[in-house]
Chains A and B, each alone.
Chain A
Amino acid sequence: MRRLLVLLCLLAAGRAWALDPAAVGRLAFGDGDERIAAIGALLASGEPRVTEVLQAFAAGELQTAGERVLIVRGEEGFDAASGQRVAPLPPEREDVVANNRLRSAAQAALASLKLLAPERAARLEAARALSGSVDPATAPLLRKALEVEGDGEIRALLAMAVASLDLASDDRATRLAAIRMLGESSNAAVQPLLAAAVKDPDAEIRSAAKLSLIEVEGRLKWGEILGLLFAGVSLGSILMLAALGLAITYGLMGVINMAHGELIMIGAYTAYVVQNAFRSMGLFEWYLLAAVPASFAVAALVGMLLERSVIRWLYGRPLETLLATWGISLVLIQGVRTLFGAQNVPVENPAWVSGGIAVMSNLTLPWNRIAIIVFAAAVLAAIGLLLARTRLGLFVRGVTQNREMASCVGVPTARVDTLAFGLGAGLAGLAGCALSQIGNVGPDLGQGYIVDSFLVVVFGGVGQLGGTVYAALMLGFANKFLEAWSGAVIAKIVVLVFIVFFIQSRPQGLFALKGRAA
């Protein structure tokens, strides 16, 4: 009731009152309830500087020095109550710690302040923030805002918020209207409200609520299914990236490269190093642009080095390459541990691949996953072109199909081997760069992907890049759909067992090479 009065005051507030130092003090020094009350009191004052203080509070910029409350940003300080600059800053300062409860109260207060802001973007953001959980205390403000709002999208959001408030109204007609209104919503938060109305003693309200609930659930179901599809594509694209390099080194060249996972790891660490370099240059936002080619180059270089020094001597003995490359992988893991330490290293998403796009209230597609899907498609197209249209691609295909014959017609098989292995390693590096955006970067990174990568290649059919792509996507979908149904652990086991059975009935994988080469 008090907050309601307070808000009415706010709406009426035409002139500025002084920011109450006592309220600011309570915000800084009080216990939980006192601080919530202080937020209300500050809001009530209508003083324009309230926004600044509350923002500083939510962002953890408030500090206390003795009795004084300061806003501290970097080396600059301002008195929270008066707004005057404080210089020099007192040396003994304590942070004002805001917990989740206080932060959400402050954010709600800020949102309600913004509801009447002149900028459309601020109002839209505020309307979104308020549409989730509607506090009855904000009702008058919401109604007022709805009256004066001109923008259609914001109006719709506000109307929904008002409708969810009207659900508790005493007037039957208002409630019915609200229920029908909520039926249009695709916000998951209205579900429990409608579910409660389904149990209403009034038959008409009951049936209306049932109808609305079914509509909302239907819409949400779509969100879920789309979410699953997206998750499947995303996992599939990651598996594909991880397996593409192997499809070349193993599928085309017949080298069982157990160090493939470590080449992925090298790619990820390269992204880390590039990130640090770009951060120190102040270009953090753009580091990925350089990290992609760098990961490819470093991993490819390491790959070619390995090919020249070790793998070259083992062609035609595929099972022995397994042992040597296993040794290589041990050395690489320990090498990274010595250089970078055993712990994970931080690779952060630049702003443009952070967060996600909210397609529906229950479906947010993260930018980093979208970026990886696009990236995977681009890599696939590039590698397809490379193999199909370039001279190197021709040589690689030739050497794969018939090494002796290729050699006879003058293909430098040794160099082609080195380059092809480098290409496979480079692709692993690209996968590492992509993985650094969604997972951890540590010495063991590659170990988690090696078994999966081999399965994808074998499942798709060795020697078939296309098979690898289909296999990765199929496994991605299978994993995610099973996971939604049975939990992650069983899903993984079922998929593995399925592959075992599949290979036993079709030993050449999804797409068998036709003709004598098989």
Chain B
Amino acid sequence: MTRLYGARGWAALGVLAAILFVVFPALSLGVPAGSPFHLSQYWVTLIGKIMCYAVVAIAMDLVWGYSGILSLGHGLFFALGGYALGMYLMRQIGRQGQYQSELPDFMVFLDWKELPWHWWNTDQFWWAALLAVLVPGLLAFAFGYFAFRSRVKGVYFSIITQALTFAAMLLFFRNNTGFGGNNGFTDFKRILGYGITEPETRMALFAATGAVLIGTLLVARWIVTSRFGRVLEAIRDAETRVAFCGYNTLHYKLFVFTLSAVICGIAGALYVPQVGIINPGEMSPANSIEIAIWVAVGGRGTLVGAIAGAGLVNFAKSLFTVWFPEYWLYFLGLLFILVTLFLPRGIVGLARGTRTGAA
């Protein structure tokens, strides 16, 4: 088996882990709020959110960068994971909602007397966590099976995944679907019994996201450096030849697509308690396109690039919307154009190119 990373790679990962699990918690919880070194809740939630995006970007890189499948529906899997955990969080509100009922507020409002079937057992964390993995996974499996079996590829696949997430968005917008309609889920109070606004809870979620990020990176790295990963890359470059060599490409593509959806589901589940809202807007086609853009900006087929791209684009968005509220779209738009034109291998490609001196 190939080594996952060289010594420098492991060292970098160690430093990252140390920052995420030691330095940040210490700065956030150990340093008093007045100190200039204090890491405020704003940064904790913002970095936490961006790490969730980074996990999604890795998942995207697996299917797009390594297997050549551009899914424009990954936002759907992300949102489904979020909704699964969101159901649990809604149940945890208990009687503290506006209506002081056991049912979530929006159901009281719809005059529903009991929970609909799909809310069964969602007061159990383990079930919600399971749903967050299973629902995106099964959907991706079923969808992928039919799509890959009939050899839907390239742009066709992109467009139908886009149609899928668009249809799901309209479905979730409906009040009667039972997911709170356009308002979605908000106003969470507790997770696993801990207050969701407590700095400790926030830090725990932050650390969990960090752990998932590092874990996802390692798993993805393991896959792409394995024999399996090389077959994937071969499929990306010449699927017919791989098929003629006796590989069943359906299995490879289906596996990586499903895995990617599961990772997105996990990211979504971590995302919701940190940003405090999930609504069908997450399923809008534009959001899914953005995921692809993170990967492209960072550099496809590099994994690290996915993280860098997600981080760069989202930090840029967060800062530009404050600094240049009227003009930030110009910068973002130009960034996308220039990266595609001049950095076909993304910023990571640029960094590697200058280091090795090779184009």
A touching B, CB within 8 angstroms = yes
The answer, yes or no, to whether B204 is at the interface (CB within 8 Å) is no
Known: A319-B70, A331-B333. A504 touches B162 (CB 8 A): no
Q: Cβ of A458 and Cβ of B156 under 8 Å apart?
A: yes
Chain A contacts for B286, CB-based, 8 A:
447
Bound-state Cα–Cα, A392 to B183, Å? 52
The answer, yes or no, to whether A408 is at the interface (CB within 8 Å) is no
The answer, yes or no, to whether B167 is at the interface (CB within 8 Å) is yes
Partner of A504, one of B160, B293, B330, B341: B160
Known: A319-B70, A320-B344, A323-B340. A331 touches B156 (CB 8 A): no
The answer, yes or no, to whether A349 is at the interface (CB within 8 Å) is no
The number of residues on chain B lying at the interface, defined by a beta carbon within 8 Å of a beta carbon of chain A, is 43
Interface residues of B in 289-347 (CB under 8 A from A): 289, 292-293, 296, 326-327, 329-330, 332-337, 339-341, 344
The answer, yes or no, to whether A503 is at the interface (CB within 8 Å) is yes
Bound-state Cα–Cα, A203 to B166, Å? 57
The answer, yes or no, to whether A386 is at the interface (CB within 8 Å) is no
Q: Cβ of A322 and Cβ of B292 under 8 Å apart?
A: yes
The answer, yes or no, to whether A252 is at the interface (CB within 8 Å) is no
Size class of the contact patch on chain A: 35 or more
Q: Cβ of B152 and Cβ of A320 under 8 Å apart?
A: no
Q: Cβ of B336 and Cβ of A324 under 8 Å apart?
A: yes
The answer, yes or no, to whether B29 is at the interface (CB within 8 Å) is no
Bound-state Cα–Cα, A328 to B293, Å? 13
Interface 1/0 per residue, A340-364 and B, CB below 8 Å: 0000000000000000000000000
Q: Cβ of B164 and Cβ of A500 under 8 Å apart?
A: yes
Chain A contacts for B339, CB-based, 8 A:
323
Q: Nearest chain-A residue to B164 (Cβ)?
A: A500
Bound-state Cα–Cα, A458 to B161, Å? 12
The answer, yes or no, to whether A137 is at the interface (CB within 8 Å) is no
Chain A contacts for B154, CB-based, 8 A:
318-319
Interface 1/0 per residue, B274-293 and A, CB below 8 Å: 00000000000110010011
The answer, yes or no, to whether B170 is at the interface (CB within 8 Å) is yes
Interface 1/0 per residue, A471-500 and B, CB below 8 Å: 000000000000000000100110011011
Q: Cβ of B335 and Cβ of A327 under 8 Å apart?
A: yes
The answer, yes or no, to whether A310 is at the interface (CB within 8 Å) is yes
The answer, yes or no, to whether A333 is at the interface (CB within 8 Å) is yes
Partner of B337, one of A328, A458, A504, A507: A328
Q: Cβ of A323 and Cβ of B336 under 8 Å apart?
A: yes
How many inter-chain residue pairs (CB < 8 Å) link A and B?
Answer: 119
The answer, yes or no, to whether B151 is at the interface (CB within 8 Å) is yes
Chain A contacts for B335, CB-based, 8 A:
327
Q: Cβ of A334 and Cβ of B150 under 8 Å apart?
A: no
Chain B contacts for A462, CB-based, 8 A:
155-156
The answer, yes or no, to whether A374 is at the interface (CB within 8 Å) is no
The answer, yes or no, to whether B13 is at the interface (CB within 8 Å) is no
Interface 1/0 per residue, B153-178 and A, CB below 8 Å: 11110111011101100110110000
Chain B contacts for A319, CB-based, 8 A:
64, 70, 154-155, 158, 292
Bound-state Cα–Cα, A322 to B293, Å? 9
Bound-state Cα–Cα, A492 to B166, Å? 10
The answer, yes or no, to whether A258 is at the interface (CB within 8 Å) is yes
The answer, yes or no, to whether B147 is at the interface (CB within 8 Å) is yes
The answer, yes or no, to whether B43 is at the interface (CB within 8 Å) is no
Interface residues of A in 133-155 (CB under 8 A from B): none
Q: In this complex, which of B159, B327, B339 has the most chain A Cβ atoms within 10 angstroms of its Cβ?
A: B159
Q: Cβ of A331 and Cβ of B296 under 8 Å apart?
A: no
Interface residues of B in 165-222 (CB under 8 A from A): 166-167, 170-171, 173-174
Bound-state Cα–Cα, A326 to B146, Å? 29
Partner of B146, one of A331, A489, A504: A504
Q: Cβ of B152 and Cβ of A503 under 8 Å apart?
A: yes
Bound-state Cα–Cα, A219 to B70, Å? 52
Bound-state Cα–Cα, A320 to B174, Å? 34
Known: A319-B155, A493-B171. A451 touches B163 (CB 8 A): yes
Q: Cβ of B170 and Cβ of A326 under 8 Å apart?
A: no
Q: Cβ of A458 and Cβ of B167 under 8 Å apart?
A: no
Q: Cβ of A507 and Cβ of B152 under 8 Å apart?
A: yes
Rounded to whole Å, the gap between the CB of B301 and the closest CB of chain A is 13
Bound-state Cα–Cα, A191 to B166, Å? 41
Chain A contacts for B147, CB-based, 8 A:
504
Partner of B333, one of A328, A493, A506: A328
Bound-state Cα–Cα, A320 to B65, Å? 12
Bound-state Cα–Cα, A324 to B289, Å? 11
Known: A323-B340, A489-B170. A455 touches B163 (CB 8 A): yes
Partner of B166, one of A256, A317, A329, A451: A451
Q: Cβ of B336 and Cβ of A496 under 8 Å apart?
A: no
Q: Cβ of B164 and Cβ of A318 under 8 Å apart?
A: no
Q: Nearest chain-B residue to A499 (Cβ)?
A: B163
Chain B contacts for A385, CB-based, 8 A:
none
Known: A451-B163, A492-B170, A504-B150. A327 touches B156 (CB 8 A): no
Q: Cβ of B329 and Cβ of A330 under 8 Å apart?
A: yes
Bound-state Cα–Cα, A492 to B163, Å? 11
Bound-state Cα–Cα, A365 to B333, Å? 42
Bound-state Cα–Cα, A507 to B150, Å? 7
The answer, yes or no, to whether A13 is at the interface (CB within 8 Å) is no
Bound-state Cα–Cα, A322 to B155, Å? 10
Q: Cβ of B336 and Cβ of A327 under 8 Å apart?
A: yes
Partner of B151, one of A338, A489, A500, A507: A507
Bound-state Cα–Cα, A496 to B327, Å? 35
Q: Nearest chain-A residue to B72 (Cβ)?
A: A322
Interface residues of B in 106-163 (CB under 8 A from A): 146-147, 150-156, 158-160, 162-163
Q: Cβ of B170 and Cβ of A320 under 8 Å apart?
A: no
Bound-state Cα–Cα, A326 to B329, Å? 11
Rounded to whole Å, the gap between the CB of B74 and the closest CB of chain A is 14
The answer, yes or no, to whether A314 is at the interface (CB within 8 Å) is yes
Q: Cβ of A500 and Cβ of B167 under 8 Å apart?
A: yes
Chain A contacts for B292, CB-based, 8 A:
319, 322-323
Chain A contacts for B171, CB-based, 8 A:
493
Partner of A324, one of B64, B152, B160, B337: B337
Q: Cβ of B166 and Cβ of A314 under 8 Å apart?
A: no
Rounded to whole Å, the gap between the CB of A247 and the closest CB of chain B is 13
Q: Nearest chain-B residue to A501 (Cβ)?
A: B146
Would you give 17 A-B contacts (Cβ < 8 Å), ordered by A?
A250-B155, A310-B337, A317-B344, A319-B64, A324-B341, A327-B340, A331-B334, A334-B333, A458-B159, A462-B156, A493-B171, A496-B164, A496-B166, A496-B167, A497-B167, A503-B159, A506-B150
Interface contacts beyond A319-B158, A330-B330, A505-B146: sample of 6 additional A-B pairs, CB < 8 Å, sorted by A: A324-B340, A454-B159, A458-B156, A492-B170, A496-B166, A506-B150
- A-side residues, CB < 8 A to B, are 250, 256, 258, 310, 313-314, 317-324, 326-331, 333-335, 338, 447, 451, 454-455, 458, 462, 489, 492-493, 496-497, 499-500, 503-507
A-B CB proximity, top 9 nearest: A327-B336, A330-B333, A331-B333, A496-B167, A334-B329, A324-B340, A327-B337, A327-B333, A507-B152
